[in-house]
Structure 1
Amino acid sequence: MARTIAKDHDQKREQILKSAAKIFATEGFDRASMAQLAKECGISKANIYHYYDSKDAILYDILDSYLSELRDVVLSSDVAGLAPEDRLRRAIRNILRAYQGADHEHQVQLNALSALPEDQQDQMRAYQRDMVRFLSDCLRGAAPEVFGDDRAKLRAVTMSIFGMLNWYYMWNAGAGAEARETYADVVTDLTLKGLPGI
């Protein structure tokens, strides 16, 4: 007879992913052990294996869940009908807001994505490309005269914006929604107007 799924299966799985993200972010994926994960989760190692057959499977699920949800939030930004500059401002705000509460997952993405098999890395990069394309479109719309047909310049500026947003958690850990919105505006103004516009 097949084993039934516990009522709290999804909740336990989410707890494992959150705890694993913390351990992978603080200890490093290579150094983290299943015993550490079990201790952080407050459950037995055998119980973790009931949900995941390996540390690699946990890493994949952390990154797939985090990046697919992040991509969905970013791409569902309600920017239709806004002026081009406002569209860019809202997109940058939404990206930074979407990062809130996911510092460990974000660190795992930055530091451990390369531990996945190549096909799984490709899947994660596809999520990232979707977000880059969305921000690039907003950026080109806000300053078409700057970019023209220069795709290299557009990519450089787009990735520079992501660079500013991606490392925000390093020097402003625990920033709330208001601080994130203020910083998003700084990034937008710096991008569109340079230092005199801040």
Structure 2
Amino acid sequence: MTRVRSDDYESKSQAIMDCAAALFAKEGYPAAKMQDVAKACGATKSMLYHYFPAKDDLLFAMLQEHLQRLIAALEEALTGKGKPGERMQRLVQAYMQKSVQSRRRHMVAMSDVKFLPKAKQAPLITLQRQLAELIAGLLRELNPHLSDALYKPYTMMLVGMLNWTDFWYSSSGAVKPQELCDRMARLFLNGFLAEKG
């Protein structure tokens, strides 16, 4: 029996997740079948099951990897030098870059996690909370005089703005990616800094 080298295994599992993300985004997770994923990947069902024993395993791996990469990008953006406002700019840019790099996975993450069994949802929810805590920590630095109860709603407002951009924004339009990031950061930052309470 030939063993698959780990780098081959990694690249093949990535290719499968990319194909599946495109299919799930187009057809919807509930409608897509593993045989559809195999066909989209140009693979056999048995080869697909070698990497992902069930459709839930495939979705879970895809979403877990997407969230882990997004968290790593935000941590890097936030640990660099600079004032909190500069780090907000870097955070928005890092979030948008990671979303663009895995646009279909991001869209699937937004809509399909609810289809996973609760046991598989739990680690993803933990990662989502970790991501939210990173952003909330920066917001506390930016405006430390707000009531503690307000940081979560503001965090979710910012995350909502960043997440939904994938559904309407086109880089070929009048507003280029860097300008969009600049405008989003300024819009949120200027409004947030003016808030009291």
Q: TM-score, normalised to structure 1's length?
A: 0.86
Gaps of 5+ in 2: none
Match of 2:9 in 1: 9
Match of 2:128 in 1: 128
Match of 2:118 in 1: 118
Match of 1:140 in 2: 140
Aligned with 2:163 (options 163, 166, 173): 166
CA shift in 2, pair 1:174/1:28, >3 Å: farther
User: What's the offset of the Cα at 1:108?
Assistant: 1.2
Gaps of 5+ in 1: none
Whether 1:39 and 2:36 are equivalent positions in the alignment is: no
- Over residues 57-105 of structure 1, what are the superposed CA-to-partner deviations in whole Å (9 max), with x where a residue is unaligned? 1111111111112112212225443112112221122111121221111
User: What's the offset of the Cα at 1:41?
Assistant: 0.3
Aligned AA for 1:142?
Answer: L
SS of corresponding position for 2:77: coil
User: What's the offset of the Cα at 1:184?
Assistant: 2.0
- Over residues 11-44 of structure 1, what are the superposed CA-to-partner deviations in whole Å (9 max), with x where a residue is unaligned? 2211111101111111111100112111110111
- Over residues 82-132 of structure 1, what are the superposed CA-to-partner deviations in whole Å (9 max), with x where a residue is unaligned? 112112221122111121221111111111101222222121111111111
Q: CA RMSD in A?
A: 2.1
Match of 1:62 in 2: 62
Aligned with 2:189 (options 175, 189, 192): 192
CA shift in 2, pair 1:175/1:157, >3 Å: farther
